[in-house]
Amino acid sequence: MSDYHRKNRRRGFQKERDLVRKLWDMGFATIRAPASGAKAKKTYQPDIIAAKNNRILVIEVKTRSSSDVVYIDQYQVEKVLEWVKRAGSNATGMIAVYFDRRQGWRFVPIESAVKLDSGGVKITKEDADKGLPLDKLREI
């Protein structure tokens, strides 16, 4: 891994920790999975689970500063969908995307994201604009 990627990765983890803190401060119960990157796991772990009033958000986090699109690969989509299916009808799969400070965090329901032939999905910065900002999650 290059220094450039290592730095981006570290920055991504920092943003993810900040997000968990913000969700906690909004009254969600939160838990964050260890940052591993290993795909050989025997169980699927999404990045963050946030629960409140019997609703469960199953969250995959994507941060990007150098481009205007994020890709969520098939494995990541599957782990969210499988988690949601198991957890029950009160669970919702969300991609939390962060492009820049102006737009802030946006939450895009995984089923509204643009499907790719690869089995993954993509979210452009423009798509993200239609996602829920953090403070709208209060209404969930």
Question: Which residues are annotated as catalytic?
Answer: 36
Among 15, 69, 71, 82, binds a second copy (CB under 8 A): 82
Closer residue to a second copy in complex, CB, 30/63: 30
Cα–Cα nearest to 139, from 11, 3, 26: 26
How far is the CA of 93 from the CAs of 37, 39, 45, 66, 106, in angstroms? 19, 19, 12, 25, 13
32 near a second copy (CB under 8 A)? yes
Which residue's structure tokens are 């964050």? Answer: 32
11 near a second copy (CB under 8 A)? no
In the complex, the residues that contact a second copy under the rule CB under 8 A are 20-21, 24, 27-34, 42-43, 45-46, 49, 51-56, 58, 82-91
